[in-house]
Structure 1
Amino acid sequence: MSQHSATIQWLRSPHPQDARTYSRRHVASLAGGQLVSMSAAVEYQGDALCADPEQMLISAVASCHMLTFLAIAERQKYRVESYQDNAVGYLEKVEGAGMAVTRIELSPKISFGGDNLPDAAALSRLHASAHKNCFIANSINAKVSVV
């Protein structure tokens, strides 16, 4: 077991485009000392220059899948040279529950080096195992798929 923490800090200030409401900008301080400028999504009067919680959730799922994939690939003697994912999450209305990120589509592009290269079936098994063992995917209700 491990614990993970973040500190969120917000101070009232006027919204830059609508003085009748407040700014959604805030800062997340992570345990490693990193500061992340955050806001609501633009659709909810947020700042496009900041990360929004939905982007952070999608990033967490994609990052967890990648890190799990890399660990499994290494254990199976595959040498991953690069990994890029353009993940997309969908915020949708859920009947009786309001809005939710209902699905996340991962689109990893991976290059391998060395003599041991996975075929399509092995690559599919690697992704299935990564998905099954991803801590973040196991923690959410959204459907996560590799497209």
Structure 2
Amino acid sequence: MSGREHQYGTTVTWTGNQGTGTSGYKAYSRDLEITAPGKPPIPGSSDPAFRGDPTRYNPEDMLVASLSACHMLWYLHLCAVNGVSVTAYTDDAGGTMAEESHGGGRFTDVVLRPQVTLAPGSDSTKAMGLHHEAHEKCFIANSVNFPVRVEARITVG
């Protein structure tokens, strides 16, 4: 590996002690809070399938969101430096996690579905091709061991 290294740090704090800690499987909440210096906290929990709070982000949500956000940020950068003017970008990303009989599991794939709007007169062919380059450069996609597919839609105007 060559080039610069960047360091990241977060603090994850369990906030789900309901008085008796983990004295029993149903005795505690899975709630947590993710913090980093100078940033707002993120309320977290486990997936509702694992007794989590459905109103809070779970690690699986955040993994899919990380892949989506990384792709988007690379894509916007590449469009800017290649003369493609993006005026709107939304991604309805989704991931599949397979639970194993022994209790573990893993993601089997994530699909990114960016819906990109370009300014009138923009080159939609070039814009579509930049999704491939963004995917190749995405730090998070390069760090996972499952396929990440991109199913982009481009609209001009």
Scaled by the length of structure 2, the TM-score of the pair is 0.82
Which of 116, 134, 147 pairs up with 1:130?
134
| Unmatched 5+ stretches in structure 1 | none
Report the equivalent of 1:84.
90
Query: Matched residues, percent identical?
Result: 29
Q: Considering only aligned residues, what root-mean-square deviation do their CA atoms show, in Å? A: 2.3
- TM-superposed CA distance for 1:2, in Å, is 1.1
- TM-superposed CA distance for 1:95, in Å, is 9.2
Scaled by the length of structure 1, the TM-score of the pair is 0.87
Give 3-state SS (helix, strand or coil) of 1:72's partner: helix
Give 3-state SS (helix, strand or coil) of 2:124's partner: coil
**Structure 1 moving runs of 4+ over 3 Å:** 93-98
Q: Indicate yes or no: 2:1 matched with 1:13.
A: no
Q: Counterparts of 1:1-147 in structure 2 under 5 Å?
A: 1-11=5-15, 12-13=17-18, 20-93=26-99, 98-119=104-125, 122-147=126-151
Following the alignment from structure 2 to structure 1, what is the Cα–Cα distance between the partners of residues 26 and 83?
59
Following the alignment from structure 2 to structure 1, what is the Cα–Cα distance between the partners of residues 91 and 118?
15
The answer to whether the Cα contact below 8 Å between 2:136 and 2:142 also exists between their aligned partners in 1 is yes
Cα deviations across residues 103-122 of structure 1 (Å, max 9, x unaligned)? 00011000001433222xx3
Following the alignment from structure 1 to structure 2, what is the Cα–Cα distance between the partners of residues 19 and 108?
39
Following the alignment from structure 1 to structure 2, what is the Cα–Cα distance between the partners of residues 102 and 31?
33
The answer to whether the Cα contact below 8 Å between 2:92 and 2:112 also exists between their aligned partners in 1 is yes
